[in-house]
A and B are shown apart, each in its own frame.
Chain A
Amino acid sequence: GENVEQHPSTLSVQEGDSAVIKCTYSDSASNYFPWYKQELGKRPQLIIDIRSNVGEKKDQRIAVTLNKTAKHFSLHITETQPEDSAVYFCAACNYGGSQGNLIFGKGTKLSVKP
């Protein structure tokens, strides 16, 4: 089945710097890759997603890149702000295939220091 590895587990940056979180997946048939943000004590919320027919997607300060050949995808946050501090989870799945449910990484705790 699908396996998703996420790195790093913790990341500390200064306000205004960029942050990058990387995930690798094992199932080459996976075709949907969402990223969720979870603030302390809150529910996970989708911040961006990408499908396998696209290599990059941007939404203001957030971008996701996908390398299908290498089976990895990354979350990029530019001009970080203290409110970006949270745990970020990547996920992968093969919709329409044998593994049609989201498999999550273990999360990255991002701390943005003012």
Chain B
Amino acid sequence: NTGVTQTPKFRILKIGQSMTLQCTQDMNHNYMYWYRQDPGMGLKLIYYSVGAGITDKGEVPNGYNVSRSTTEDFPLRLELAAPSQTSVYFCASSYLEQETQYFGPGTRLLVL
């Protein structure tokens, strides 16, 4: 298993542009999560999914959308990028709800 993978590693966006952050896991985990990490602010949950076809909002969902068409993939969509979305984005997965969350390597996004 390669675990949780994310692409791209780094991206610069102009205000108003859109992009999709990709996340894939090969551990057959049911639960998948998207977090953003701002300096000195810890991790904030954006969206999560408990299985294919099921997604729900986290703490900070505004400006983002997700889909979960397969168990393996959980892409995060930014429709109209804003400077406030400059952050490091981590995808994570876990087999069950109260189990270890395994994080991907992160995507660093800069919106100018």
Complex: how many Å from CA A102 to CA B90? 14
Interface residues of A, count at CB 8 A: 23
- Interface size for B (C-beta < 8 A) is 19
Across-interface contacts of A61 in B (CB, < 8 A): none
Query: Contact: B90 with A44, CB < 8 Å?
Result: yes
Query: B interface, by DSSP: helix, strand, loop or mixed?
Result: loop
A-B contact pairs, 30 of them (CB 8 A): A9-B40, A32-B98, A34-B101, A42-B105, A43-B90, A43-B103, A43-B104, A43-B105, A44-B43, A44-B103, A45-B103, A46-B100, A46-B101, A49-B100, A51-B98, A89-B42, A91-B43, A100-B97, A101-B33, A101-B45, A101-B59, A102-B101, A103-B59, A104-B42, A104-B43, A106-B40, A106-B41, A106-B42, A107-B40, A107-B42
